[in-house]
């Protein structure tokens, strides 16, 4: 009997994950059955269950891939000196997510943003998934903290800037852009870049000293 190559096994696993991602994006996690996934990928139950024990494991695998990409982008940025600025990094993150799976496109639509919203909702009832997301979020926050330290070393931000506070805000920006795309449709990366640059160009307006008059 011919031995199945690892390349073939990886491709079959990829096929199953992509098909499941499309099903979840269309109908949500709870309305999608394993029969829906089997029909989408055109494989027998035995072929699919060889790789995944069921729907929960499929969801976990898809989420795990996304978290690996997010963590990897931030960690790579933290290794640069100086790290790329937010107006470069946030669009880069979303572009990277789109280039890799499960950032697949269905009927012209990038399905990752829709999946992201469903994952957030699912974490409210699925403790295992919530733990996975919390771990991925902590990894991203740690990497962003190192990015902030890189900004400080390059004298790009105030020396007393709080790394964790800035990390939370930057992650929230990426999540917010993805949420907008899920609800309102895809936006060009230039929109994110230009908006962030405009915000970064703002100067703080300080109150005039007490007793002084303006104008």
Kindly report, residue by residue over 195-205, the tens digit of the pLDDT. 989 988 887 66
Q: SS3 of 205, please?
A: coil
pLDDT of residue 111: 85
Q: What is the pLDDT at residue 2?
A: 52
pLDDT score of 211 more than 80: no
pLDDT given for residue 95 in this prediction: 82
> Tens of pLDDT along 44-70?
999 999 999 999 999 999 999 889 988
Question: What is the pLDDT of the chain when averaged over all its residues?
Answer: 87
Instruction: For 150-198, write each residue's pLDDT tens digit.
Output: 999 999 999 999 999 999 998 898 889 889 988 888 888 889 899 989 9
Residues 6 or more apart from 170 whose CB is under 8 A from it?
A: 86, 89, 90, 144
More confident residue, 214 or 14: 14
Which fold does the domain 54-200 belong to in CATH?
Tetracycline Repressor; domain 2 (1.10.357)
pLDDT score recorded for residue 1:
45
Q: Are 182 and 113 in contact (CB under 8 A)?
A: yes
Q: What is the pTM of this model?
A: 0.81
Position 137 scores a pLDDT of 94
Q: Which DSSP category does 206 fall into?
A: P
**CB burial string 37-73: b at 16+ within 10 A, e below:** bbebbebeeeebeebbeebeebbebbbebbbebbbbb
């Amino acid at each position: 009997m011919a031995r199945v190559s690892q390349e073939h096994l990886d491709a079959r696993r990829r096929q199953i994950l992509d098909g499941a991602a499309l099903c979840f994006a269309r109908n949500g996690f709870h309305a999608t059955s394993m029969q829906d996934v089997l029909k989408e990928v055109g494989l027998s139950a035995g072929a699919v269950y060889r790789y995944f024990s069921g729907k929960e494991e499929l969801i976990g695998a898809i989420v795990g891939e996304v978290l690996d990409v997010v963590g990897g982008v931030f960690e790579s940025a933290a290794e640069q000196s100086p790290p790329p600025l937010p107006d470069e990094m946030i669009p880069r993150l979303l572009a990277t997510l789109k280039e890799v799976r499960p950032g697949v496109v269905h009927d012209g639509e990038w399905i990752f943003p829709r999946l992201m919203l469903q994952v957030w909702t699912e974490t409210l009832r699925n403790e295992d998934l919530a733990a996975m997301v919390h771990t991925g979020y902590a990894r991203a926050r740690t990497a962003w903290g190192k990015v902030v330290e890189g900004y400080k070393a390059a004298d790009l931000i105030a020396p007393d800037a709080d790394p964790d506070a800035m990390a939370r805000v930057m992650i929230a920006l990426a999540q917010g852009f993805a949420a907008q795309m899920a609800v309102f449709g895809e936006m060009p990366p230039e929109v994110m870049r230009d908006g962030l640059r405009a915000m970064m160009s703002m100067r703080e307006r300080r109150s005039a000293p007490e007793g002084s008059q303006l104008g």
